[in-house]
Amino acid sequence: MGEWDELYRENIIDHYKNPRCRGTLDHPDITYEDANPLCGDQLRIDIEVKDGKIEKIRHSGHGCSISQAAASMLCERMEGHPLEEVKALTKEDVLELLGIELGPVRLKCALLILKTLKAGVYGITQWPGEEEETK
Ligand code: FES
């Protein structure tokens, strides 16, 4: 394993053990819950929006280290950013945050937060990246 792989893995474990933006909001403008059909793990997001920006974002639920770390990383990255940016997020953005290669099963774990976020904000309920794969 390369030095970078090791660093990325440590970062994933850190986000899993000390998740950023974890919890729920009392008065969210957007709330959405989704699950990974392969394992049943669930993820919920709550968002407060102000002037078109994500004022606060929180994630809750339960899942494996990859899904939880990806949720922590993506929520931390998006807080304070315009909602419009959510639409533009791709699976590559999430994979870049995680920084390690994933097989198809773990890919669904990693993309659960992105799917939940896009469904909550834009009603896009497709798994990110599947549109290209099924063409
Ligand atoms: Fe369930 Fe990863 S095993 S989200």
What total of structural domains would you count in the chain?
Answer: 1
CATH of the domain at 68: 3.90.1010.10
Residue 91 domain boundaries: 3-122
Note the pLDDT tens digit of each residue in 46-71: 999 999 999 999 999 999 999 999 99
> Which residue's CA lies nearest to atom 3 of ligand 1?
64
What confidence score (pLDDT) does residue 112 get? 97
Q: Enumerate the H helices of 18-128 as residue ranges.
A: 65-78, 84-88, 91-98, 104-122
Ranges assigned E (strand) in 15-66? 30-35, 42-50, 53-62
Query: 129 in a domain, yes or no?
Result: no
Task: Tell me the per-residue pLDDT of 15-28, one tens digit each, with 9 for 90 and over.
Answer: 999 999 999 999 99
- The torsion angles phi and psi of 19, rounded to 5 degrees, stand at -65, 135
Predicted structure pTM score: 0.93
Residues 6+ apart with CB under 8 A from 132: none
Q: Does any domain span residue 128?
A: no
Domain membership of residue 134 (yes or no) is no
- Give the residues across from 31 on adjacent strands: 46
Q: Among candidates 41, 48, 46, which has minimal Cα distance to 23?
A: 46
Which residues' Cβ are closer than 6 Å to ligand 1? 36, 39, 41, 63-64, 66-67, 109, 112
pLDDT at 132 over 60: no
- Range of lowest pLDDT (42-46, 73-77, 103-107): 103-107
Question: Of ligand 1's atoms, which has the minimum distance to the CA of residue 38?
Answer: 1
Mutate to test the pocket of ligand 1, among 16, 34, 39 (most ligand atoms within 8 A of CB): 39
Sign of the CA dihedral running 60, 63, 68, 70 = negative
In a domain, 131, yes or no: no
Q: What is the mean pLDDT of residues 10-18?
A: 96
